Amino acid sequence: MVILGVTAPASWNTAAALIKDGQLVAAAEEERFLRLKHAPNLPPLRAASWCLNAAGITMDQVDLIAVGWRDPASYLSCSLLEELRSLRLPGIATGVANAFEYLIQLTRMQKGLNSRQGGHHPRWVFVPHHIAHAASAYYASGFDAATVLTLDGNGEDDSGWLGTGRGLELMRSHKIRPQQSLGVLYGNVTGLLGFKEHSQEGKTMGLSAWGKPGIQLEPHLSANETHYRLDRRYIRWLKKKFPRRPAHEPLSDQHKDLAFAVQAFLERAGVSVAKRAYADSKIGKFCLAGGVTLNCDMNAKIIQQPFVEEMFVQPAAHDAGVALGAAYVVAAETQGWKPSAMTHAAWGPGYIDAEIEPVLREAKAGYTRCNDIADAAADLLAKGKIVGWFQGRMEWGPRALGNRSILAHPGMPEMKDKVNIEVKHREPWRPFAPSILHEAGPDWVENYKTSPFMLVTFTVKPNRRKDLAAATHVDHTVRTQSVVPEANPVYHRLIERFCSRTGIPAVLNTSFNDEGEPLVMSPRDALRTYSSTGLDALAIGSFLLVK
């Protein structure tokens, strides 16, 4: 059986994923093909077409198309009922408008996919948004049973889902209403700080480490051991007290302190949600999804709780992940199938040397072929060069994990500013992260746990801070990626070779893209970014380019 999962075109990040004969074959985000950040509210037609090509099939061979959103008729009626209960006329208008926009975009997506097939019309199955989020984490975790949390801005008529996964079943215990959305709270503060809502919440998290206690958000926001509450007037209060910063104006201490305050609240609220979910399930293995769970500092607070034994966060935790979650749900219901644990995120397009070399020749780029590209790149990194690293299949989700990465020496403090200013063209205060050999992790960070998708922060041990200076934030934390040879042998070998030269079992790793752009996908994307930024070298397939 072939199941194509797609994100509903009413979502901020759209994507497609394909399961063939009980195996996940491909998953990719639409933004990478369009070269448009997030590809918001756009049908994932290119991503779906690529998934089919990767599986070697056409739409004629697809049995079911799973959409990570409830069906339009149900969504329209639920939106109306939800708003009518509170008699909020603006909310009613917004709900109806959103429902009709979803219907229009869904119709376009159906036509777009149908144009890629003959007379065969696969059946469409609609999976509620937060169920798809929950499934994307639980079914990919490899756990037999788990406590499951989803937290995002708004999905249909909810902003969160708490429940339990057992075997093939997902059972909800609580849901979080839109009025209590942690994603909306964090997005609003992100906008007030002068950043882009729905896109640059990571900046708010990074800025928070530069702030200090002082701003009081209570009584408008409150959190205790098992509950949090957002006063219905809190947005109005925030906007009145903290006017939006024009993007061109410098950040003040008040901006940094506001970021600190909202981050601290989010962490308390996240822990309270986890405690509440655990009180119902009594299961110490946790699965997290939803855009809010891309907040690595909140995840760190949750994983440090004594009742948490293990934690899996879906690498595409934002809306793109529901394409995979919807496909998982349909596979479980129709085939009684639960996948094995997701140990890597390399589910996107990959390119062999025979596809890369013609692009380099056409661009008249000077290059050499290397017998061991990992060793060659490690040598450049040890000498202080900044290297674009393009290997294997593209990552699924927003984090670069050693396939489409920009790499540098983490022990050279000046590298942070050089990469930020000369390559990424972004604010110099923003931090980077280290990819570290899994076997070395316990010796380098405190309370180390496996973190393959770079979605949890840890504190660097005092005696190791000098050697990770460029990849460590101002508060001595790092968003670590654990690297094992089974998941990425070439990347693991590169870090080993770098360690043999420097004694540091880690490299500075950031996404291979320029500011405001999606992660590079193709050799042309990589070559364009290499040529137009301050990268010193590009290791692409077996080929090495050096400026």
Residue pLDDT, tens place only, 145-176:
999 999 999 888 899 999 999 999 999 999 99
Burial readout 433-460 (b: 16 or more C-beta within 10 A, e: otherwise) = bbbbbbebbeebbeebbebbbbbbbbbb
% of the chain residues with pLDDT over 90: 86
Phi, psi of 326 (to 5 degrees): -65, -40
Q: Which residue has the tokens 């500011």?
A: 515
Angle at 539 between CA 535 and CA 542, to 5 degrees: 160
Which of 335, 362, 397 is where one domain is finished?
335
Range of the domain at 248: 140-321
- Evaluate whether residue 371 is within a structural domain: yes
pTM, full prediction: 0.94
Question: What's the pLDDT at 102?
Answer: 78
**The total number of structural domains that make up the chain:** 3
Local confidence band at 94 (pLDDT 50, 70, 90 cut-offs) = low
Angle at 263 between CA 258 and CA 269, to 5 degrees: 130
For residues 267 and 330, state if they share a domain: no
Q: Are 186 and 233 in contact (CB under 8 A)?
A: no
- Evaluate whether residue 344 is within a structural domain: no
For residues 221 and 263, state if they share a domain: yes
Q: How many residues in the chain?
A: 547
Question: What's the pLDDT at 92?
Answer: 56
For residues 111 and 153, state if they share a domain: no
* Average predicted confidence (pLDDT) for the chain: 94
For residues 422 and 279, state if they share a domain: no
- Sheet-wide strand order for 15-20: 23-29, 15-20, 2-6, 64-67, 123-126
Question: pLDDT tens across 417-459, in order?
Answer: 999 999 999 999 999 999 999 999 999 999 999 999 999 999 9
For residues 50 and 30, state if they share a domain: yes
- Rounded to whole angstroms, how far apart are CA atoms 111 and 57? 19
| Model confidence at 97: pLDDT above 80 | no
